[in-house]
Structure 1
Amino acid sequence: MALTKNLFNVPNNLNANHPIEVSGRARDDVKLMVLDSLTGRTIHQKFHDLVSFIKAGDVLVLNNSRTIPSVLKGKQGKRDIEVRLSRRVTNDSWEVLIVGGLYASDKQIDFSNGITACIEGEGSELPLLMIRFSVSGQRLYEMFYQYGEPIRYEYIETPWPLDAYQTVYASVPGSVEMPSAGRAFTWKLINQLKRKGVSVVFLQLHAGLSYYGNDHWPVPSHHPESYNIPEETARIINDAKKKGNRIIAVGTTVVRTIETVADQCGFVQSGEGITTLYIKKGTPLKCVDGLVTGMHEPEASHLDLLSTLIEKEKLMSAYREAIQKEYLWHEFGDMNLIIPMENNQ
């Protein structure tokens, strides 16, 4: 799947299993590896030093999608069922993963408070299924928030509250997993960037499931996600492109969104839609110049996207260096800025 499989291994002790705030430190005190996309040179800092590497006139684009509690416990007869939401399709229909794959396609699923769901068929790819709930809209979301839990993978030992899976600027509910590249931002850091003359703008891409279990990851080209780009965000990005300033995405979700709507000159249009864009080595990036992202496991397709910003050999060398310096992986882990540092202030 990913082009980097078996080129590096992440030791178990480098899987971040708790938010940094638990140890009394600020979110932006995680490590930051700055990676020059031109030379492969690395600089090791703290995330709050990001302001030193972003120039006045640059545009920082963040995903303000808010994480919802997407793990639901239900029953089919006497059998317990765990349903993980993946993508909202209509007001009452979702693509979901039934953990373990044990279910009866002809029996309804009973959830709390009398709400039920029926399985209507396969989702956009296996093992996802399409289910229809007996309620819709606000009432359905109320059930999610009252009875649901955040997704917690095996490296997370403690059931942290939903707030631990939010960025500080998250405002539009819809992601089933946190757009985690933005987790290290604090309002203090965002305001420092603005005072320097950096434009900070927002869009939404509601992130779906990134892992199906049993060493099964989504096929990126079969992984639709919904997005929305406000008019002001498009205008500020386009003005910056006209002036030759850099567009820096916070997260692969932002890269996917921007590149979905960018024309051949790198200008973007506002609007909403569904993207199935798969960005990999050889895919030209028309708008995005740099990326703030987390540390990605070797099987993740995110690394294919990173290879459009920097040569694979340079990326792998930097990742092996990060392992030596004990960077932490996953949503509570450390961060990586990939950017051309020529003439960078």
Structure 2
Amino acid sequence: MSFSFALPSQLNAALPPEKRGVRRDYVKMLVINTKTKRTTHDVFFHLSHYLERGDVVVLNASRTLPAVLTATSKDRRYEVRLARRLKAQQWEVLVPHVSLEQGEILHFSKHLTAVVEHVNAHSPFITLFFHLPEPAFFDEVYKIGEPVRYEYIETPWKLDYYQTVFGSVPGSVEMPSAGRAFSWELLFQLQAMGVKIAFVELHTGLSYLMDDRWHIGPRENKEFYNISKETANVIHTAKQKGKRIIAVGTTVVRALESAAASGTLQPKKGWTNLYISEQSKLQIVDGLITGLHEPEASHLDLLTAFVPREFLQAAYSEAVEHRYLWHEFGDMNLII
């Protein structure tokens, strides 16, 4: 079970680092060393100080969508939030505080419409079938949509602030934020010292449902992932040589461990609802780069697969004391 702690509201990062006068790769970094049981306070650009030649840093190549759309139906306007893509042209979406009917047509723009395929009274989501196929669907969404924004972010920042520099495969409705702090300069620096860079895809779903009636637990949160043969081979070779696999984000941990059910990482794509906690035995991942997670978040359970709960709680207390910033525009945490 995740733990609770007091998080002062002023530690919610309301501004992107660039708007605070800080390069995205110069946010603060809390380093938790699981062997020495010590913490270090540093900046993210010094990541190379903690990695070794032959280590593999695994990034999530998923690119953030502007997932908040506006639709018109029967002369009424609705906010529609993409939640997750089920298959070609079919999406689960959240329409806050509105009841729609099966067969109803939603108009998003003169080029994009959708029909309500399924309504479930026991779920916050409805299923839409969009009439535009990919990639035209994504082209239109990027023109008309806005990024998901939470209450601690007062200004509607442009989508670029919600992208990682390397994201290339559209699909995440919320930013895979653990990779945000990477710059091309830092990635090239790591490669120059012999650190391998590999990519997986895991498209993040909608986490905040805007209604206290609904709660999606980690086992109910299915997300699509894809691990290529190239990435599987890079990781397999590194493991054989005794090198470390460093996942960037809890999404990457879930993807890699989901594809390693047999004990060996396989090229694989599909849906995962893998729940990782202190009882889990990780088969692939040795370290983690992540943001700081809010009190009682299920992501904290995943972190306890790397760090004993008491040590993690103490480290988070230090982060609060040292005024680290939380959420997608906040500071970073390296666990090795």
Q: Distance in 2 between matches of 1:292 and 1:246?
A: 13
Instruction: Determine the structure 1 residue equivalent to 2:101.
Output: 105
Is the 8 Å Cα contact of residues 38 and 310 (structure 1) preserved in structure 2?
A: no
Is the 8 Å Cα contact of residues 210 and 217 (structure 1) preserved in structure 2?
A: no
Q: How does 1:33-112 map to 2 (within 5 A)?
A: 33-99=30-96, 101-106=97-102, 107-112=104-109
> Of the candidates 20, 23, 44, which is equivalent to residue 23 of structure 1?
20
Instruction: Determine the structure 2 residue equivalent to 1:194.
Output: 191
Task: Compute the displacement of 1:199 (Å).
Answer: 0.8
Instruction: Determine the structure 1 residue equivalent to 2:227.
Output: 229
If the length of structure 1 is used for normalisation, what is the TM-score? 0.92
Q: Distance in 1 between matches of 2:123 and 2:34?
A: 36
Task: Compute the displacement of 1:75 (Å).
Answer: 2.5
Task: Compute the displacement of 1:270 (Å).
Answer: 1.1
| 3-state secondary structure, aligned to 2:271 | strand
Q: Give the aligned CA root-mean-square deviation in angstroms.
A: 1.7
Give ranges in structure 1 of 5+ residues lacking alignment: 340-345
Q: Distance in 1 between matches of 2:327 and 2:55?
A: 27
Q: Distance in 2 between matches of 1:193 and 1:114?
A: 43
Q: Distance in 2 between matches of 1:287 and 1:156?
A: 35
Is the 8 Å Cα contact of residues 2 and 297 (structure 2) preserved in structure 1?
A: no
Residues 254-290 of structure 1 deviation map (CA, whole Å, 9 limit, x = unaligned): 000000011454x211132111211122011111010
Stretch moving more, 226-235 or 244-253: 226-235
Q: Distance in 2 between matches of 1:81 and 1:263?
A: 42
Task: Compute the displacement of 1:212 (Å).
Answer: 1.4
Instruction: Determine the structure 2 residue equivalent to 1:249.
Output: 247
Instruction: Determine the structure 2 residue equivalent to 1:342.
Output: none
> Of the candidates 284, 288, 312, which is equivalent to residue 287 of structure 1?
284
Q: Distance in 2 between matches of 1:198 and 1:298?
A: 33
Q: Cα distance 1:128–1:40, how it changes in 2: closer, same or farther (>3 A)? A: farther
In structure 2, what residue type is equivalent to 1:92?
Q
Instruction: Determine the structure 1 residue equivalent to 2:310.
Output: 313
In structure 2, what residue type is equivalent to 1:246?
R
In structure 2, what residue type is equivalent to 1:104?
L
Q: Cα distance 1:274–1:159, how it changes in 2: closer, same or farther (>3 A)? A: same
If the length of structure 2 is used for normalisation, what is the TM-score? 0.94
In structure 1, what residue type is equivalent to 2:220?
H
Residues 144-202 of structure 1 deviation map (CA, whole Å, 9 limit, x = unaligned): 11111111111111111111111111111111111100100111111111122111111
| 3-state secondary structure, aligned to 1:151 | coil
Q: Cα distance 1:114–1:247, how it changes in 2: closer, same or farther (>3 A)? A: closer
Q: Distance in 2 between matches of 1:217 and 1:38?
A: 36
Instruction: Determine the structure 2 residue equivalent to 1:336.
Output: 333
| 3-state secondary structure, aligned to 1:113 | coil
| 3-state secondary structure, aligned to 1:83 | strand
Q: Distance in 2 between matches of 1:136 and 1:43?
A: 49
Instruction: Determine the structure 2 residue equivalent to 1:150.
Output: 147
Q: Distance in 1 between matches of 2:311 and 2:185?
A: 32
> Of the candidates 169, 172, 176, which is equivalent to residue 169 of structure 2?
172
Q: Cα distance 1:217–1:20, how it changes in 2: closer, same or farther (>3 A)? A: farther
Residues 12-51 of structure 1 deviation map (CA, whole Å, 9 limit, x = unaligned): 1011011111233311110000011235311000001111
In structure 2, what residue type is equivalent to 1:9?
A
Instruction: Determine the structure 2 residue equivalent to 1:207.
Output: 204
Q: Distance in 2 between matches of 1:332 and 1:202?
A: 22
Q: Distance in 2 between matches of 1:56 and 1:134?
A: 48
